[in-house]
Structure 1
């Protein structure tokens, strides 16, 4: 099955397609459909409402196409409501799905994250994070970095978990970021941020792949593999 079988999902996707058509950062329609698929899978396993998760998944990255500066997902909720209205999303799904969108990019390892108040919001967080790890996560990380002109790696810069990273001012540097640093600052931590048991089970296997990739990347960088 390539897409969850629900007409409301197709209607929402049709409305979103124009917004994400030009994305080259890994936050395109393929991404939102993957999040929709794994999200509805987790929802069914966890007893959550898969339709709420599904429609939220399809619009969750609207904030990604709102200019170069970061736009918080919560700021796009009026537009999300317009999309839902145009797609004839059942009224009972709208408010819960909007909450999912508003909090989907909150991480437990950040200061004062907005709380996910429903299991559906927790499921969407898990589904979105899962698309950032594993084989797809590796591919998307390099696609995103390439679109922003970032380096593959700067081996002279400490990783974020190294004391020298803060002490020597690398955290505040205006040098281009490196993809491998993004792995250490975020991607390798996402498995700890899973909310659901199903999410944790899927994340464990994908995280193992991520660790293996990073180890292999560094070995090949220095020619030991």
Structure 2
């Protein structure tokens, strides 16, 4: 991404958070943040959402991933997000909106626990869809195996059941199981029209991969 594609305030935020994500090997590195940023820009244009807010939130949304191997809820990083926004001189009247997006971006209506009992803002919906889109398609497959390797997960176990309810705090699964329990359910959770269109294409690619993987595992292909 060229520097002139990014507003200076977003560049300042990226400069602050880049060192936080150095060395990440879970698939939630600064490259992921920039992909969510670019997807967020596309979706924001369709949804008439404030990209100043969406872009800032995209760059800081995964700070909770840096707090150990267990699940930390994104809302716990809101104080840190506020500090980063202040250090980058992000407009004070937009900081609450950024923090709201970060706090609620990792919610799924198919999860065991979720916090979607409010009317989502346009910016929140855009960030959530953009983040979920990066978990699908070719990049999503790469990230899934990267995440699984980091957490010591196997690739596949045909004897494991696919659970009907997704528990984001439970890492006792395999990469293919995770794809079926979460990733392939993301298209139905998309909240923007543009996000749904992109998700359908990416999910079709992922589903074809999963089916091929399982067939090869059984020696059928």
Scaled by the length of structure 2, what TM-score is found? 0.92
Given that residues 65 and 72 in structure 2 are in contact (C-alpha distance below 8 angstroms), is that contact kept between their aligned partners in structure 1? yes
Taking the aligned partners of 1:175 and 1:131, their CA distance within structure 2 comes to 20
Q: Which segments of 5 or more consecutive residues in structure 1 lack a partner in the other structure?
A: none
> Could you say what the CA RMSD is over the residues aligned between the two structures, in angstroms?
1.9
Which residue of 2 is the match for residue 215 of structure 1?
211
What's the CA shift string for 1:104-144, capped at 9, x where partnerless? 00001125522363110010000000000110000000000
Which residue of 2 is the match for residue 190 of structure 1?
186
Q: Which segments of 5 or more consecutive residues in structure 2 lack a partner in the other structure?
A: none
Mapping for residues 10-159 of structure 1, pairs under 5 Å: 10-111=11-112, 113-115=114-116, 117-159=120-162
Taking the aligned partners of 2:17 and 2:178, their CA distance within structure 1 comes to 28
Taking the aligned partners of 1:192 and 1:75, their CA distance within structure 2 comes to 27
What's the CA shift string for 1:3-42, capped at 9, x where partnerless? 7421111110110011111211000000000001100110
Aligned residues: 215
Taking the aligned partners of 2:13 and 2:54, their CA distance within structure 1 comes to 12
Taking the aligned partners of 1:153 and 1:214, their CA distance within structure 2 comes to 10
Taking the aligned partners of 2:171 and 2:114, their CA distance within structure 1 comes to 27
Scaled by the length of structure 1, what TM-score is found? 0.90
Matched position secondary structure for 1:70? coil
Query: Structure 1 175/69 Cα, relative in aligned 2: closer, same or farther at 3 Å?
Result: closer
What's the CA shift string for 1:46-78, capped at 9, x where partnerless? 111111000000000000001232211001100
Deviation at 1:2, TM superposition (A): 5.3
Given that residues 40 and 51 in structure 1 are in contact (C-alpha distance below 8 angstroms), is that contact kept between their aligned partners in structure 2? no
Matched position secondary structure for 2:49? coil
